[in-house]
Amino acid sequence: MEPLKPVSPGARIALGAGFFAVFIAAWGLATYGGWVPPLFLASPGRTLLAGWSLLTEFGFLGDIAVTIWRVVGGFLIAAVLAVPLGLLMGAFKPIEAFFEPFLSFARYLPASAFIPLLILWAGVGEAQKLSVIVIGSVFQLVIMVAGVAGATRPDLVEAARTLGSGRLAILRRVVIPAAAPQIAETLRLVLGWAWTYVIVAELIGATSGIGHMIMDSQRLLDTGQMIFGIAVIGIIGLVTDLLFKAANRRLFPWAVL
């Protein structure tokens, strides 16, 4: 091991898988070894069995689908609102001066604290679930996109001006393409946060979804089902993250991400 020296791709995969193995082994030792009573923590085997019965008997796939659609829906609404506004703020400083102070305040409002209000306004249906995700991610996203767009290299903007680009052309042909890879990275990050908000939204006043299943399992003290539900979220998160990264590499071959 040398400081900052890269590892080979093979070693990287082996090391990454290694920690999963260590983690599961420690979990197995704690449960099978009798260190933790099964009431508090199900063993790996019991968790898998619980998961199997969830999937085959209790229609857990339906819950997963509902949760994914909520995350994607809320995330897309937030992105559609936030990306254009963030780009305009980054490119045009008066627009930034107008929105920035409010957004800096709004982004500290905890999305979960809105749940009682949102239930009052929108009931316990899908609109309320989506709203929690949108509130949780939109303000952060605007500020991050504005930061990325505002960091566009001024010398590239100047070069574009000497080549005949006006205001809107600079936004369209310089600021947006220059910011695109970083915006895609930001979206990847915020999608991860959307998963946290959806589960919070589903813990209260929901009749379906992964979060609702976890709440139900708590009533039955079924730690196996709860852990399986949490692990499923982690796996979906990991897979979408990898897909996002692959898509970004494909979309922006010119950038060194």
* Residue number with CB closer to other proteins (25 or 151): 151
d(C-alpha 72, C-alpha 57), whole Å:
26
* Residue number with CB closer to other proteins (93 or 173): 173
User: Minimal distance in Å, beta carbon 75 to other proteins?
Assistant: 25
User: Minimal distance in Å, beta carbon 164 to other proteins?
Assistant: 3
For residue 191, what is the enclosing H or E element? helix 176-203
d(C-alpha 182, C-alpha 189), whole Å:
11
* Residue number with CB closer to other proteins (8 or 162): 162
Do 157 and 131 touch, CB atoms closer than 8 A? Answer: no
Integer CA distances (angstroms), 212 to 55, 62, 149, 228, in order = 15, 12, 38, 13
* Residue number with CB closer to other proteins (183 or 214): 183
* Residue number with CB closer to other proteins (101 or 177): 177
d(C-alpha 180, C-alpha 251), whole Å:
9
Binding site for other proteins (CB under 8 A): 153, 155-156, 158-165, 169, 173-174, 177-178, 180, 252-256
* Residue number with CB closer to other proteins (76 or 160): 160
What are the strands, taking DSSP E only, across 75-185?
none
* Residue number with CB closer to other proteins (33 or 166): 166
Sign of CA pseudo-dihedral 19, 20, 25, 30? positive
User: Minimal distance in Å, beta carbon 72 to other proteins?
Assistant: 27
User: Minimal distance in Å, beta carbon 145 to other proteins?
Assistant: 17
Residues whose CB is less than 8 angstroms from the CB of residue 152 and which lie 6 or more positions away in sequence, other chains included: 90, 91, 174, 175, 178, 179
User: Minimal distance in Å, beta carbon 92 to other proteins?
Assistant: 17
* Among 70, 90, 105, 87, residue whose Cα is nearest residue 206: 70
d(C-alpha 151, C-alpha 74), whole Å:
27
User: Minimal distance in Å, beta carbon 141 to other proteins?
Assistant: 22
User: Minimal distance in Å, beta carbon 63 to other proteins?
Assistant: 41
Residues whose CB is less than 8 angstroms from the CB of residue 189 and which lie 6 or more positions away in sequence, other chains included: 144
